[in-house]
Structure 1
């Protein structure tokens, strides 16, 4: 075995974000409205960070995770369709958690409920052909509670959860996930709902921009794109972007115990995974948001040498997070099918 083989890692057993110990995921959708919700639930409060790059984000409680603020841990993360209406999904999960006595509190007192911290990001799927005539009762609070009640280690990719009504450029978008376990035992996972303005596939072909990062045949095994990216050739992007109509929202996770500032750097580095998988990205009409969480189930592995190993651990985790996120995006689009009511073609139809 050469040195490269000794340093090789692999996807986790499920190739899902839930390969990170201490995480479960729940999903629910409304087929008539052509929308859905995904809930990422740690077994206990988890350190968290967020990095926002899109020009039109829709979020809840992201300020809570700021460096100078009191609370930098979360009880759940929610990804939702529905644009501003979807922000109610965070309320549904908060209500469900609070009923179980879960949440942040400085001092527990009889009769005073805790405050669940549930950062939420939404994507725009209001114009995808589904029935949005919901009047004063948008479905997102109920969908979120259904998703929270159904959390488990295994979950479906593609046209599910927050990715149910999503479009990735001119193709059907979807919910994707992937994971990686390093040779020395660190696990990194990602989950993403891809509703991007930009394209996930290269012009004149079916190959994903993320093809160079594919492991095995997890999204078709076609390999890297065999064409050059020329100037402003945005084939398979959306041709008529509308404000707030495009967003890729994601959460990456690790089981390594990290400080809030270290986790923030991992979230920042993870954003490069969007740039590796989508072209163009971070546009004025995108709302790209990446959360990062640490379940803290393991300490960072020891490293030999006279220098402080922590920055190198953070660097490794951030680089892996970007790769895993790129893979998750391609896996979501690869697995997506076009539901009744939508006309956006699926990748499989190319």
Structure 2
């Protein structure tokens, strides 16, 4: 079972930073590649909250990003990306639109989840904490990460359980794909009536506690989701990124993001509801060449498994 201890990222050219506010019960996660990297996004939920995702559409002027930000706070959390842009710009990192004194333009797509009803003090007036948390997460970026109640997963809930942030890695041949997920879904991550994760079949090295369904298990409608007390859309969401060292094109990354979303259906029931804003970024930070569509298909399948495991690890660590 994931225990919240630090895990090293599988890539030396990627850093991740987390920050949270205990009083507000919310947080921010910043994903930082060492250089501008190709990125795509897939938005599958019915109530997303995002920034600069249109920038990632195929055929646009800009096809690389300098950071990805995941945050709680619903629409207020989008302000965390402002702070990351400010920090990157001060270092001269960004899209170059002209010679100085024209400033660079950091490209920082972001997605938010709704944790505003979790009991934290949200009476922030005109000063939401997200720019501060964005700066703190940026400053904390390193080559390792914790799991559970940290960063964007700090105030999250998964069904009626604590949510959290998790990481999981899969390999296909020489290529690696790593999922970084903040879990705050409407649905439940557990088989109805049990403590067995939906994703139990994808477990690695006892990370879920080696729980399996009873021999006589029969599925029944879940009673541990948020559906019984939620009345509005936009109050949930799973957000995250899959990062690979495979040298993928923008088109390939779009497909990887689409396939990675299947990991939510493997680990949460129900998923991709009108009440969720499920958003997954796909980021290529390496030079590992794939042999063709067949290997990309395998990588996408691995990405889905990694998302399922990362989501489950985050929830279990938060508990």
After TM superposition, the score normalised by the length of structure 2 is 0.94
Alignment pair present for 1:121 and 2:103: no
Give the CA deviation at 1:224.
5.5
CA distance in 1, matches of 2:282, 2:214: 29
Contact 1:20/1:253 (CA < 8 Å) preserved in 2? no
Q: Tell me which residue corresponds to 2:246.
A: 256
Q: 1:80 aligns with which of 71, 75, 87?
A: 71
Q: Which runs of 5+ in 1 are unaligned?
A: 1-13, 302-308, 337-345
CA shift digits 1:68-96 (9 cap, x unpaired):
21112100001100000000011111111
CA shift digits 1:35-75 (9 cap, x unpaired):
00000000001110000010000000000000121112100
Q: Tell me which residue corresponds to 1:234.
A: 222
Q: Which runs of 5+ in 2 are unaligned?
A: none
Q: 1:223 aligns with which of 207, 212, 218?
A: 212
Q: Tell me which residue corresponds to 1:305.
A: none
Q: 1:62 aligns with which of 47, 53, 63?
A: 53
CA distance in 2, matches of 1:69, 1:229: 46
Alignment pair present for 1:147 and 2:129: no
Higher-Rg member (1/2): 1
Give the CA deviation at 1:229.
3.3
CA distance in 2, matches of 1:200, 1:122: 20
Contact 1:84/1:122 (CA < 8 Å) preserved in 2? yes
Counting matched residue pairs gives 312
The ranges of structure 1 where at least 4 consecutive aligned residues each deviate by more than 6 angstroms after the TM superposition are none
Contact 1:64/1:71 (CA < 8 Å) preserved in 2? yes
After TM superposition, the score normalised by the length of structure 1 is 0.86
Alignment pair present for 1:315 and 2:304: no
Alignment pair present for 1:203 and 2:192: yes
Give the CA deviation at 1:219.
2.0
Instruction: Give the SS at the match of 1:209.
Output: coil
Contact 2:171/2:302 (CA < 8 Å) preserved in 1? no
CA distance in 2, matches of 1:152, 1:15: 11
Contact 1:211/1:225 (CA < 8 Å) preserved in 2? no
Alignment pair present for 1:34 and 2:25: yes
Give the CA deviation at 1:283.
0.6
Q: 1:331 aligns with which of 298, 303, 313?
A: 313
CA distance in 1, matches of 2:316, 2:210: 11
Alignment pair present for 1:170 and 2:157: no
Contact 1:30/1:36 (CA < 8 Å) preserved in 2? yes
1:287-306 matches, cutoff 5 A: 287-296=277-286, 298-300=287-289
CA distance in 1, matches of 2:256, 2:92: 30
Query: Structure 1's 49 and 334: CA in aligned 2 closer, same or farther, altered over 3 A?
Result: same
Give the CA deviation at 1:228.
3.6
CA distance in 2, matches of 1:87, 1:225: 43
CA distance in 1, matches of 2:11, 2:307: 14
Contact 2:69/2:80 (CA < 8 Å) preserved in 1? yes
